[in-house]
């Protein structure tokens, strides 16, 4: 992409409405624009990052045996009356009436919808287990939308739902999602820690929030110090095998979020306990027959008896992650994208666009880089060099390839690593082989 043609409305100054660094940087880099409180348009650069995140989530769900589908954003209120949540959900739910005076709503989540689909289509225990997911916009009329995309009203979520005949099966499904989440966040360069979370009336140990530590996080979290030394998990796994040892390892040390933590009953001595703030990027939750019973979702067993299916739901905040990753990875000059979610692989900077020889050399580099499979953002504008550097640092691509008339005369370009700040002079060919290694 040539920057001269790209729609990337960057801002020089810090927008006054942004309280935290990720929100500031997303506005400054031209990634998003606010439409109304907690509702954002995603501009090309921001949307590209969100799609990369979404794709990692998708690949890891697929690898775990979860099947993608797509449910609507607008749901009929009657479905929610069946589960009893239409009244319980309160003001967070956006309620809509259609032209025939039917009560509708913009879905804040999809348990009811998926339970209806399941009960209308599945009859026998032989069809279980089933794991289904979709990646869809949600709306929650949050009391206090803030921090940009981190607590929006409209936001993109991946939500999965599991259906099993009994609790052992439900645990296997839960474990699949637990391990899929470890792999998903590791691929994004995040150290997300699974923390015990509220299980509600069902009790037990099958509710975990995945939390990344950040001072600006909204959750207060408590954990054993050794948990912070765990390497993030990215090993290959057989999702049909026994995943319990992996889950056991990650739950062996104490870690709990706000509501779950009880200082009077904490196994870690107070002087060792780590207390930090964190961002919830995912939540996995087993809830038994909470929805299957009121909504009559059951299957027939081998002996002819009928059982309500055991369910769980598993969410990831896809749009929140865009901000979350920036909170975890930035410096005073801007964003520092982990390569896996970076909008482009490399930024090519032409230091002197007005110089014909330099411009044609850079055009050639651009073609060769594209031909080598790199996704390149090419700054071919006639801005000052200083502004180009600042801009490239702000948007945080992992590499910058910088070319100017002086270097080119000696047959060299400069390659800069955004994260370390290291620069080296080398031939274009060496730079290219480094970038494609």
Q: Which residues bind ligand ATP (CB under 6 A)?
A: 109, 140, 142, 151-152, 155, 157, 280-283, 315, 317, 319-320
Three-state DSSP at 291 gives: coil
- Where b means 16+ CB within 10 Å and e means fewer, 332-351 reads eebbbbbeebbbbbbbbbbb
Three-state DSSP at 99 gives: coil
Report d(CA 402, CA 398) in Å as an integer.
Answer: 13
Shortest separation between residue 198's beta carbon and ligand ATP, angstroms: 9
Question: Is the CB of residue 222 less than 8 Å from the CB of residue 261?
Answer: yes
Q: Is the peptide bond before 129 cis (omega within 30 degrees of 0)?
A: yes
Q: For ligand ATP, which is the closer residue by CB, 135 or 297?
A: 135
Report d(CA 366, CA 86) in Å as an integer.
Answer: 55
Nearest to 185 by CA among 209, 164, 217: 209
Q: For ligand ATP, which is the closer residue by CB, 82 or 220?
A: 220
Q: For ligand ATP, which is the closer residue by CB, 137 or 239?
A: 137
Measured from each CB, the residue nearest to ligand ATP is 317
Shortest separation between residue 197's beta carbon and ligand ATP, angstroms: 8
Which tokens sit at 265?
């009953």
Q: For ligand ATP, which is the closer residue by CB, 30 or 217?
A: 217
Three-state DSSP at 66 gives: coil
* DSSP-derived secondary structure letter, 232: P
Shortest separation between residue 225's beta carbon and ligand ATP, angstroms: 25
Q: For ligand ATP, which is the closer residue by CB, 195 or 431?
A: 195
DSSP 13-35: SPPTT--SHHHHHHHHTTSEEEE
Question: Rounded to the nearest 5°, which phi and psi values hold at 399?
Answer: -130, 150
Shortest separation between residue 306's beta carbon and ligand ATP, angstroms: 30
Shortest separation between residue 257's beta carbon and ligand ATP, angstroms: 9
Shortest separation between residue 341's beta carbon and ligand ATP, angstroms: 16
Q: For ligand ATP, which is the closer residue by CB, 321 or 374?
A: 321
């Amino acid at each position: 992409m040539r920057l001269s043609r790209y729609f990337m409305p960057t801002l020089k100054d810090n927008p006054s409405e942004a309280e935290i660094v990720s929100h500031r940087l997303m506005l400054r880099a031209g990634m998003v624009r606010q439409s109304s409180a907690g509702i954002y348009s995603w501009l090309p650069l921001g949307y590209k990052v969100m799609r990369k995140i979404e794709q990692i989530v998708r690949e890891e769900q697929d690898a775990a045996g979860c099947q993608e589908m797509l449910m609507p954003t607008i749901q009929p209120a009657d479905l929610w009356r069946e589960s009893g949540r239409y009244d319980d959900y309160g003001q967070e739910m956006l309620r809509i009436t259609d032209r025939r005076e039917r009560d509708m709503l913009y879905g804040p989540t999809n348990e009811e919808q998926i339970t209806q689909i399941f009960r209308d289509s599945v009859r026998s225990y032989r069809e279980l287990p089933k794991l289904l997911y979709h990646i869809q916009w949600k709306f929650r009329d949050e009391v206090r939308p803030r921090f940009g995309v981190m607590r929006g009203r409209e936001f993109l979520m991946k939500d999965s739902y599991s259906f099993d005949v009994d609790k052992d099966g439900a645990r296997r499904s839960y474990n699949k999602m637990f391990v899929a989440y470890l792999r998903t966040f590791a691929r994004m360069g995040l150290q997300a820690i699974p923390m015990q979370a509220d299980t509600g009336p069902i009790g037990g140990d099958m509710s975990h929030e995945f939390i990344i530590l950040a001072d600006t996080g909204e959750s207060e979290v408590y954990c054993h110090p050794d948990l912070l030394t765990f390497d993030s998990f990215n090993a290959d796994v057989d999702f049909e095998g026994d995943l319990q040892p992996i889950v056991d390892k990650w739950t062996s040390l104490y870690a709990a979020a706000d509501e779950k933590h009880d200082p009077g009953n904490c196994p870690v001595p107070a002087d060792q306990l780590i207390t930090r703030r964190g961002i919830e990027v995912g939540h996995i939750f087993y809830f038994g027959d909470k929805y299957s019973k009121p909504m009559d979702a059951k299957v027939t067993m081998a002996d002819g008896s009928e059982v309500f299916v055991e369910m769980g739901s598993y969410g990831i905040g896809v749009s929140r992650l865009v901000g979350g990753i920036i909170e975890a990875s930035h410096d005073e000059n801007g964003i520092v994208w982990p390569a896996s979610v970076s909008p482009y692989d490399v930024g090519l900077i032409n230091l002197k666009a007005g110089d014909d020889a330099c411009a044609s050399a850079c055009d050639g580099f651009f073609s060769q880089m594209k031909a080598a499979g790199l996704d390149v953002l090419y700054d071919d504008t006639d801005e000052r060099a200083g502004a180009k550097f600042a801009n490239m640092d702000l948007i945080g691509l992992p590499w910058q390839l910088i070319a100017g008339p002086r270097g080119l005369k000696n047959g060299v370009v400069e390659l800069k690593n955004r994260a370390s700040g290291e620069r080296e002079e080398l031939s274009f060919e060496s730079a290219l082989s480094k970038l494609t290694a």
